[in-house]
Amino acid sequence: MCSGNQATCVGHHGGFAKAVISDERFAFPLPENLSSETAGPLLCGGITVYSPLRLYDVEARQNVGVVGIGGLGHLALQFARAFGCHVTAFSTSGNKAAEAKRFGAHEFVVSTDPRALKAQAGKLDFILVTVFAPIDWPTYLAMLRPHGKLCFVGAVAQPLTLSVFDLLFGLKSVCGSVIGGRTMMSEMLEFAARHNIKAMTEVMPMDHCNEAIAKVRNNTARYRMVLKN
């Protein structure tokens, strides 16, 4: 970010500063029942998974799948459940089943079990992919009902390989989404406050920042690390 001709993140404290000056257009008042430590991650992870649900007109009558139960996925489960959808969580970690259901999943599928994946064929209207690693995309495409959407918010590095015929004859589509504008951000915060949606965070003092960064790098954070002065 820049202020005039001066970069705020070069030679300055940046995110480790005790105070910052921000353009009021990009500062959002928090609803009273959202604490800073749980609301902070909503301004990134929360809006990332909320926007596609709104952008692609996900409705309460629909069945939604969330692939990956991590920093994005645990928020996606909460938002999709609050939308009134039937929610299915997919994870390689079977030990996340109880946690996923606490976040709002009606069903939990271990994504390394081929039979469990095959049993989901033709059941879902919308699948939100929050993972970054490539997986068996044709199998997930087969889970969609006609007019279903396979939506990416995780930046999968490798190209997708899908059958065009599966898209044509199934009337299915592949789409993506990134964060959201100011209006969507304000809407998301109000929605989260109304439905008690919060990021699961581990709060550490600022002088423990290296420890927090190590947990993120080691994939042991559940699910967002927050530094607090």
Q: Is residue 79 part of a domain?
A: yes
CATH number at residue 160: 3.40.50.720
pTM: predicted TM-score of the whole model, two decimal places: 0.90
Structure tokens at 6: 């001066």
Q: Which amino acid belongs to residue 42?
A: L
Domain count, the chain: 2
- pLDDT per residue rounded down to tens, the chain (229 residues): 444 556 555 666 666 677 777 788 888 899 988 998 888 999 999 999 999 999 999 999 999 999 999 999 999 999 999 999 999 999 999 999 999 999 999 999 999 999 999 999 999 999 999 999 889 999 999 999 999 999 999 988 889 989 999 999 999 999 999 999 999 999 999 999 999 999 999 999 988 989 999 999 998 888 899 988 7
Same domain for 228 and 142: no
Distance of CA 153 to the CA centre of its chain: 7
- 123 close to 99: Cβ distance less than 8 angstroms: no
In which residue are the tokens 């059958």 written?
Answer: 163
* pLDDT for 1: 44
DSSP string, 146-169: EEEEEEE-S--SSPP---HHHHHH
* 67 plus 164 within the same structural domain: yes
56 lies in some domain: yes
The C-alpha atoms of residue 76 and residue 50 are separated, in whole angstroms, by 7
Neighbours of 125 (CB within 10 A): 21
Same domain, 164 and 94: yes
Strands (E), 153-211: 173-176, 201-205
What are the distances in angstroms from CA 64 to CA 88, 103, 148, 169, 224? 6, 14, 10, 21, 23
Q: How far apart are CA 221 and CA 74, in angstroms?
A: 12
Residues 6+ positions from 27 with CB-CB distance below 8 Å: none
Q: Does 154 lie in the same domain as 67?
A: yes
Please give the DSSP secondary-structure letter assigned to residue 41. G
- The angle formed by the CA atoms of residues 217, 222 and 224, to the nearest 5 degrees, is 75
Residues 146 and 227 in one domain: no
Give yes or no: residues 152 and 224 share one domain.
no
Six-digit token string for 165: 């015929």
Identify whether residues 140 and 52 lie together within a single domain: yes
| Domain residue limits at 129 | 42-176
The DSSP secondary-structure symbol of 215 reads H
The single residue listed with the structure tokens 């919308």 is 126
Q: Please name every residue paired with 175 in a beta bridge, in sequence order, or none if there are none.
A: 151
> In terms of domains, do 164 and 219 share one?
no
17, part of any domain: no
**Token output for 53:** 């649900």
Separation between Cα atoms, residue 210 and residue 36, nearest integer Å = 21
